[in-house]
């Protein structure tokens, strides 16, 4: 047998005799069902502060989450993205760098505000920004996070892609198995801490991650590459989520990446579309803007309680596309108590009337409707509804059956 064939046999044996039983067992020991029963909501430092984020920024953001009303609207996770990492000590334990002098004290501060603290690492030796990753130190890192009081871990593939490439010798199936195993290793390490830590997989959607992420303890998993603060990128990512609804549910969510609302690169109509679409997708809502400088419009978008209620609905179903005629799309999302959210999206470049029939969104009887952006009840819909929707804009409704 050639060396590459024997490597393949080795990895296939690993998958069947080592990895598969661990995955099967992890179903039984997966994170408590009380973790992320609705899509996680919070704030992440990456979109606004990127590599400049400091302890002071995170404390100021915690203060702003409280004073702005974001915390009370449901945004409770405050997540530090890449670049907090320092060096390992002689025993292999990770330490923070000089931007974060005392992570435990920071966690205590964040907790004192009624918030939870998230952190970031990679299964690779280096993070995407070139800082220390968890490769070979997963148990120690999970233990350290738990000691600090961390409540959420974003685990970003980054340099582990290189390990996969070199160790799989170009065998894609072996590479994918290694990737799943890397996430499972950290999952087991987190379980060993006995602290509920939300586990966020970030590997950009490779290998249909939605099909296996819950089996490696994923509470959420990125389904795409990085978002940025442009209409084109946001729309490409958001509307490409059609079809993924069967994979989401309480405790495990598709994650089309953080919100860009308030960062300045889109119009308010475009940000309303972004917010509506993420809510229809039951997506995690991680704001990524400067919370100390929010315009009233940004606040009204991020804290629209009617739209947040759609995202956080207890039924935990992700919405999906009902129809698309050119750039005019109708999406619906089942809600608890037989209600339904419907969004009319205009991806085109001028005002346009968009319609739907009740039967297209599952109703055989008339419904009462509420407009979730004007916050007005719009009365009974007997059969169909048409709204004129602005360029790159949205009309979002909540429908309630007249007869239960």
Q: Which residues bind ligand GLA (CB under 6 A)?
A: 46, 81-82, 127-129, 156, 202, 226
Taking the least distance from each CB to ligand GLA, the nearer of 9 and 236 is: 236
Taking the least distance from each CB to ligand GLA, the nearer of 127 and 134 is: 127
List all residues 6 or more positions away from 202 whose beta carbon is below 8 Å from its beta carbon.
154, 155, 156, 157, 221, 222
List all residues 6 or more positions away from 17 whose beta carbon is below 8 Å from its beta carbon.
none
CB 181 within 8 A of CB 203: no
Taking the least distance from each CB to ligand GLA, the nearer of 123 and 319 is: 123
CB 216 within 8 A of CB 202: no
55 is annotated as an active-site residue: no
Report how far residue 304's alpha carbon sits from residue 309's, in angstroms, rounded to the nearest whole number: 9
Instruction: Tell me, letter by letter, the H, E, C secondary structure of 105-173.
Output: HHHHHHHHCCCEEEEEECCCCECCCCCECCCCCHHHHHHHHHHHCCCEEEEECCCHHHHHHHHHCCCHH
Cα end-to-end distance, the chain, whole Å: 67
| Token pair listed for 316 | 């935990």
As measured in angstroms, the least distance from the Cβ of 83 to ligand GLA is 7
57, 63, 171, 226: which is the annotated catalytic residue? 226
Report how far residue 14's alpha carbon sits from residue 19's, in angstroms, rounded to the nearest whole number: 6
CB 209 within 8 A of CB 203: yes
Cα dist from 249 to 3, 271, 307, whole Å: 43, 25, 18
| Token pair listed for 332 | 């619906």
Taking the least distance from each CB to ligand GLA, the nearer of 234 and 335 is: 234
Report how far residue 244's alpha carbon sits from residue 250's, in angstroms, rounded to the nearest whole number: 15
Taking the least distance from each CB to ligand GLA, the nearer of 73 and 129 is: 129
As measured in angstroms, the least distance from the Cβ of 389 to ligand GLA is 30
As measured in angstroms, the least distance from the Cβ of 222 to ligand GLA is 7
81, 82, 141, 156: which is the annotated catalytic residue? 156
The bridge status of strand 394-401 relative to strand 340-346 is antiparallel
As measured in angstroms, the least distance from the Cβ of 284 to ligand GLA is 12
Taking the least distance from each CB to ligand GLA, the nearer of 129 and 309 is: 129
226 is annotated as an active-site residue: yes
Report how far residue 97's alpha carbon sits from residue 88's, in angstroms, rounded to the nearest whole number: 10
As measured in angstroms, the least distance from the Cβ of 127 to ligand GLA is 6
As measured in angstroms, the least distance from the Cβ of 59 to ligand GLA is 21
Taking the least distance from each CB to ligand GLA, the nearer of 284 and 334 is: 284
Please give the distance of CA 13 from its chain centroid, rounded to a whole number.
33
Residues acting as catalytic residues: 156, 226
């Amino acid at each position: 047998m050639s060396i590459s064939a024997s490597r393949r046999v080795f990895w296939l044996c690993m998958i069947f005799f080592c990895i598969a039983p661990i995955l099967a067992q992890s179903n039984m020991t997966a994170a408590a069902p009380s973790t992320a029963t609705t899509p996680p909501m919070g704030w992440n430092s990456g979109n606004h502060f990127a590599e400049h984020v400091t302890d002071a920024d995170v404390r100021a953001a915690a203060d702003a989450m409280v004073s702005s009303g974001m915390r009370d609207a449901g945004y409770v996770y405050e997540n530090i993205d890449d670049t907090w990492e320092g060096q390992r000590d002689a025993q292999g334990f990770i330490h923070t760098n000089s931007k974060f002098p005392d992570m435990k004290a920071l966690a205590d501060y964040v907790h004192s505000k009624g918030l939870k603290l998230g952190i970031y690492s990679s299964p690779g030796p280096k993070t995407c920004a070139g800082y220390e990753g968890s490769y070979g130190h997963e148990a120690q890192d999970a233990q350290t996070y738990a000691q600090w009081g961390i409540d959420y871990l974003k685990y970003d593939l980054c340099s582990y892609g290189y390990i996969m490439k070199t160790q799989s010798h170009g065998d894609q199936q072996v590479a994918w198995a290694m990737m799943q195993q890397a996430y499972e290793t950290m999952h087991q390490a987190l379980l060993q801490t006995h602290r509920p830590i939300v586990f966020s997989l970030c590997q950009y959607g490779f290998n249909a991650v939605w099909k296996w992420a819950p089996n490696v303890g994923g509470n959420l998993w990125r389904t795409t590459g990085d978002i940025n603060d442009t209409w084109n990128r946001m729309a490409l990512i958001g509307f490409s989520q059609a079809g993924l609804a069967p994979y989401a549910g309480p405790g495990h969510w598709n994650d089309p990446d953080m919100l860009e609302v308030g960062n300045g690169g889109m119009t308010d109509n475009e940000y309303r579309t972004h917010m509506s679409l993420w809510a229809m997708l039951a997506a995690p809502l991680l704001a990524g803007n400067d919370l100390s400088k929010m315009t009233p419009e940004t606040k009204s978008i991020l804290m629209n309680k009617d739209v947040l209620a759609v995202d956080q609905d207890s039924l935990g179903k992700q919405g999906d596309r009902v129809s698309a005629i050119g750039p005019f799309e109708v999406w619906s999302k089942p809600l608890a108590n037989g209600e339904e959210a419907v969004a009319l999206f205009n991806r085109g470049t001028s005002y346009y009337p968009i319609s739907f029939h009740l039967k297209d969104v599952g109703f055989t009887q008339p419904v009462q409707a509420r407009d979730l952006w004007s916050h007005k009840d719009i009365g009974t819909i007997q059969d169909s509804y048409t709204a004129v929707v602005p360029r790159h804009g949205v009309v979002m409704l909540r429908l309630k059956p007249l007869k239960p």
